Amino acid sequence: MTVIDPRPAGDRVDGPGPRFTTGGAPWATPSSRWVADELLGGRPRTAADSVTITEVPASDARDPLVTAYRDLRRAVFIDEQGLFDGRPSGDHDDHDDDPRALVLLAQDHDGELLGGVRLAPADAGTPDLGWWCGSRLVVAPGARRRAGARVGAALIRAACARAESAGVLRFEADVQPANETLFLRLGWDRVRDTTAAGRPHVRMRWPIGKIQKLVDATKAPLGALVRGLGPEGFVGDDGAPVPGSEMIAACDAIVPAMVERDPEWAGWCGVLVNVNDLAAMGARPVGLLDAVGARDPSFAHRILTGMREAAAAYGVPILGGHTQLDVPASLSLTALGTTPHPVPAGGGRAGHRVRLTADLGGGWRPGYTGRQWDSTSSRTRAELTAMVGAIGPAAAHRPAAAKDVSMAGLAGTLGMLAEASGTGAVLDVASVPRPSGASVGDWFTCFPGFALITADEPGAPLPDAGPAVSAECGELVPGAGVALRWPDGETTTAVHGTVTGMGTATGWGRTT
Report the C-alpha gap between 448 and 384 in whole angstroms.
14
- CB count in 10 Å sphere of residue 154: 19
Domain hosting 15: range is: 2-39
pLDDT given for residue 227 in this prediction: 73
Neighbouring-strand partners of residue 322 = 291
Q: How many CA atoms lie within 13 A of 503 on its CB side?
A: 14
Cβ contact 297:406 at 8 Å: no
Torsion of CA 222, 211, 252, 423, to 10 degrees: -60
Cβ contact 344:283 at 8 Å: no
Cβ contact 371:452 at 8 Å: no
Q: What angle (nearest 5°) sits at the alpha carbon of residue 354, between those of residues 393 and 129?
A: 130
Same domain, 348 and 338: no
Neighbouring-strand partners of residue 189 = 205
Same domain, 381 and 478: yes
Same domain, 362 and 426: yes
- Is 197 domain-assigned? no
Q: Please report which confidence band the pLDDT of residue 393 belongs to, taking 50, 70 and 90 as the band edges.
A: very high
Of 321, 342, 363, the residue that ends a domain is 342
Cβ contact 303:357 at 8 Å: no
Report the C-alpha gap between 284 and 390 in whole angstroms.
10
CATH code, 307? 3.30.1330.10
Report the C-alpha gap between 339 and 237 in whole angstroms.
15
Same domain, 476 and 367: yes
- Is 364 domain-assigned? yes
pLDDT at 123 over 60: yes
- Is 186 domain-assigned? no
DSSP per residue over 292-337, as a string?
A: EEESSHHHHHHHHHHHHHHHHHHT--EEEEEEEESS--EEEEEEEE
Cβ contact 413:453 at 8 Å: yes
Mention every residue, 6+ apart, whose C-beta is less than 8 A from residue 330. 253, 256, 259, 291, 292, 293
- Is 181 domain-assigned? no
Q: What angle (nearest 5°) sits at the alpha carbon of residue 206, between those of residues 203 and 211?
A: 135
Same domain, 508 and 461: yes
Of 154, 170, 186, the residue that ends a domain is 170
Q: Please report which confidence band the pLDDT of residue 216 belongs to, taking 50, 70 and 90 as the band edges.
A: very high
Cβ contact 357:468 at 8 Å: yes
Cβ contact 45:109 at 8 Å: no
pLDDT at 245 over 80: yes
If 0-12 CB within 10 Å is exposed, 13-18 middle and 19+ buried, where does residue 212 land? buried
Q: Please report which confidence band the pLDDT of residue 503 belongs to, taking 50, 70 and 90 as the band edges.
A: confident
Please give the tally of structural domains in the chain: 4
Sign of CA dihedral 190, 194, 197, 199: positive
Same domain, 314 and 353: no
- CB count in 10 Å sphere of residue 347: 25
Report the C-alpha gap between 502 and 411 in whole angstroms.
17
Same domain, 152 and 53: yes
Q: Please report which confidence band the pLDDT of residue 45 belongs to, taking 50, 70 and 90 as the band edges.
A: low
- Average pLDDT over every residue of 44-48: 53
- Is 367 domain-assigned? yes
- CB count in 10 Å sphere of residue 407: 17
Same domain, 373 and 419: yes
Who has greater pLDDT, 501 or 116? 116
Report the C-alpha gap between 176 and 196 in whole angstroms.
9
Mention every residue, 6+ apart, whose C-beta is less than 8 A from residue 221. none
Sign of CA dihedral 221, 223, 229, 235: positive
- Is 189 domain-assigned? no
Q: Please report which confidence band the pLDDT of residue 233 belongs to, taking 50, 70 and 90 as the band edges.
A: low
- Is 464 domain-assigned? yes
Q: How many CA atoms lie within 13 A of 359 on its CB side?
A: 30
Read off the pLDDT of residues 463-498 as tens digits, 9 standing for 90 and up.
999 999 999 999 999 999 999 999 999 999 999 999
Same domain, 258 and 223: no
Q: Please report which confidence band the pLDDT of residue 259 belongs to, taking 50, 70 and 90 as the band edges.
A: very high
- Is 255 domain-assigned? yes
Same domain, 333 and 442: no
Report the C-alpha gap between 335 and 447 in whole angstroms.
19
Mean pLDDT of the chain: 88
- CB count in 10 Å sphere of residue 507: 14
